[in-house]
Structure 1
Amino acid sequence: MSELQGKRVAVAADRRAEEIGTLIRNFGGEPVVYSIQGKMNLDESTSAGNVRDLIAGSFDWVILTTGIGARTLADSAHKNELHEDFIEKLRTSRLAIRGKKTTDWMKEHQLKPELLAADGTMAELMKELRAAPERGSVFLQAYNLDDAKWKSTLEEMGHEVYLSQPYSFEKPKTAHLQELKMEIFDQSVEAVVFTSKTQVKNLFEDTEDQETLIHKFNDQVLAVAVGKVTAKELEDQGITEVLQPENQKMGAMVVKLNQYFKQLTQSY
C-alpha cells in the first residue's frame, strides 16, 4: 500500500538524498530535498600527519568514531605508501569504536575492536572506556562536531588525547535552512527525514527558532531518524516523538514511515 500518497516529506540529507527520494516516491509520497548537512571537506595534509603520528606513536587506545574518518585515514595511508603499516598498527592496538559504518570498515580489514558501543553512540563508548582499567595516551579520530566535548571527557578520565580530525563539515547554506524551517513552520510537510545528528544540530542552531521548531514537530510534523544517534539528538532537542527503524538503514526508515501513516489511517 502507498500510504504516503499525497504526503510531502522533507529530506534533510545530502548524500543518498536522491535514493531516499526515490523510495518515498515508490510509496506515493512527494520528497522535497533541503540538504542541511553542510559540505564535507577532507583535509589531506592533516590526514597524512595523523597517519604518521599514529604509526610512530605509542597509544593505549585508538578510538575510531566514524566510517568516513577511518576510510579517510586509510586512503591517506595508501597515498603515502603507509597502508600496510597503518593497518598493522591498528591490528596491534586496543581499538574502541562506534557506529555501523566504522564496524563495516573494520570487518573489511579483519580488525576486531576491544570495545564496541552496543547502541552505536559516543556516550555508550565513553561509558565502556570509563569502565576499562587502562589510562594513558589516546588517539581519537573525530570531526568538528562534539570533538571538544569527547576530548574533554577522555581527559577527565585521565587520558592524554591526540585529536585526529581528517575531515570537517562546513555550515549548510542559509537558504536551505530557512526554506526547510518555513516548511516546518507552515506544516506544509508531513514529516522530515534526518540521516545524521549534524543535520539536527544545524537545524536547531538558531536559538530564536528552537521553541517554534519543537512545537511544530510535537504537533503535526513527524521527525524521522535513520538510527539511534540521530534519534537521540532529536530527543535531546525536545522532540517527544521520533520515528526510527530497528534496522538502521535508509530503506527500512522509509518502510517504517509508510507503516506509520498506514497505522495512523487505520486508527481513524
Structure 2
Amino acid sequence: MQRLIERFGGVATVAPSMREIPLEQNDEALAFGERLFAGEIDAVIFLTGVGARALVDALSTRYATEDVLSQFRRTTLIVRGPKPTAVLKQWKLDIAHRAPEPNTWRELIETLRRETDLSGKTVAVQEYGRPNEQFYQELRALGATVIAAPVYRWALPEDTAPLEAAVRSATDGDFDALLFTSANQVDNCLEIADRTVGKDRFITAVKQSAVCSIGPTCSEALVSVGLMPDVEASPPKMGQLVRAAFECLANRAEESRS
C-alpha cells in the first residue's frame, strides 16, 4: 500500500490495525462438525479462503481430513468469491452456488434467492471476524436455519502505538485522505479512537478528509458509524483504491479552485 501511494506522488502513513487470532478452543466449529457428521447440515457457505482452510484444520483435530471433505461432498457448497472457490477446487469439492462480483453477501443472497430454495434447510456459515447479522437475517428470510462456524477473529495489533498516532493525526486534520481496506479495520480504528481522542470527535474530523473504501463490505461498516465514503474501489483491489483516492483528491482540488 505504501509503495502504491508513493508511486502516485503521495506521502503515506501506514498503521497496522489488525492481527489475526485463530480460535484455538473452537467449540462452535467442533459443534458444527458434530452436526455435519450427523447429517444435520444441508449447506455450507464459505466466505473466505483462509477461513475455509482454518475450518477444515479445526475439524481435522477430531476427524480425518478426508472424512471431513467427504462430509462436505454430501452438502450443498456455496462460496462468496474467488478465494474460497480456489480452496474448494484444490480439495476437488463441487461448488453449487457462487456470488458474482463484487462478491459481497448481498450478491450471494440474490444468487441464492434466484438459484435455490433454502426453506427448511440448515445452513452453516464459515465466519470471519465479526458475525454479519444482516446476512444471517436475509438467510433466515429465505427460510434457512443458520448456524455459525467461526474460525478466527481480528484483534488489535500487539503494538497499538502506530495506530494511536495515526488516529490522533487524522483527528488533527493531518491527512488529505484515509484509506480503509476492511470492515474489521474500521471497527479497530473506532475502538482506538474511543480510547484516545474520542470516537465522536474522530468521526467529525475524518469527514473533512476524503474517506476511501476498498469495497462494499467496508463501505457498509463506514456508513454504520456515520462515515459516508467519498470513494469506493471498483473492482475492490488495493491498486484501484489508491488510484480512486488520488482521483478524488484531484477533483477536490479542482473544485476548490473554481
TM-score higher than 0.5? yes
User: Match of 2:97?
Assistant: 115
Answer yes or no: is the 8 Å Cα contact 2:171–2:205 preserved in 1.
yes
Query: Against the structure 1 CA distance between its residues 128 and 212, is the aligned structure 2 distance closer, same or farther, given a 3 Å change threshold?
Result: farther
> Contact 1:193–1:224 (CA<8 Å) still a contact in 2?
yes
Q: Alignment partner for residue 150 of structure 2, among 141, 152, 165?
A: 165
Matches within 5 A, 1:195-234: 195-205=181-191, 206=194, 209-219=198-208, 221-234=209-222
Asked if 1:22 is matched to 2:3, the reply is yes
Greater Cα offset, 74-83 or 165-174: 74-83
Matched, 1:46 2:26: yes
Q: 1:226 to 1:104 in 2, by over 3 A?
A: farther
| Post-superposition offset of 1:76 | 4.6
Instruction: Check whether the contact 2:210–2:248 (CA below 8 A) recurs between aligned residues.
Output: no
Give the aligned length.
247
1:145 lines up with 2:134 in the alignment: no
Q: Distance in 1 between matches of 2:82 and 2:198?
A: 32
Match 2:246 to one of 249, 258, 264: 258
TM-score, length-normalised on structure 2? 0.76
TM-superposition CA deviations, 1:9-46 (whole Å, max 9, x none): xxxxxxxxxxx112212222222122222x21113553
- Aligned to 1:246, what secondary structure does the other structure show? coil
1:173-184 equivalences in 2 (<5 Å)? 175-184=161-170
C-alpha distance in 2 between matches for 1:213 and 1:136: 44
For 1:228 and 1:100, locate their aligned partners in 2 and report how far apart those are by CA, in whole Å: 16
TM-score, normalising length: structure 1? 0.74
Give the match's secondary structure for 1:141: strand
Instruction: State whether residues 13 and 166 of structure 2, in contact with CA within 8 Å, keep that contact through their aligned partners in structure 1.
Output: no
Q: 2:176 aligns to what?
A: 190
Q: Distance in 2 between matches of 1:121 and 1:253?
A: 17
Measure, in 2, the Cα distance between the counterparts of 1:156 and 1:246: 29
Indicate the residue corresponding to 1:10 in structure 2.
none
Q: Quick one: which of 56, 68, 71 aligns to 2:53?
A: 71
Partners of 1:171 and 1:140 in 2: how far apart?
24
Distance 1:116 1:213, change over 3 A: farther
Give CA-to-partner distance per residue, 1:164-208, whole Å, 9 cap, x none.
112122244554443222111111111122111001122234398
- Separation in 2 of the partners of 1:224 and 1:56? 46
Gaps of 5+ in 1: 1-19
Q: Offset of 1:108 from its aligned partner?
A: 4.1
Instruction: Give yes or no for contact 2:211–2:231 (8 Å, CA) kept in 1.
Output: yes
Quick one: which amino acid aligns to residue 35 of structure 1? P
Partner of 1:244: 232
Q: Secondary structure at the match of 1:169?
A: strand
RMSD (Å), alpha carbons = 3.3
* Distance in 2 (alpha carbons) for counterparts of 1:96 and 1:209: 41
Structure 2 CA distance for partners of 1:106 and 1:264, relative to 1, 3 Å: farther
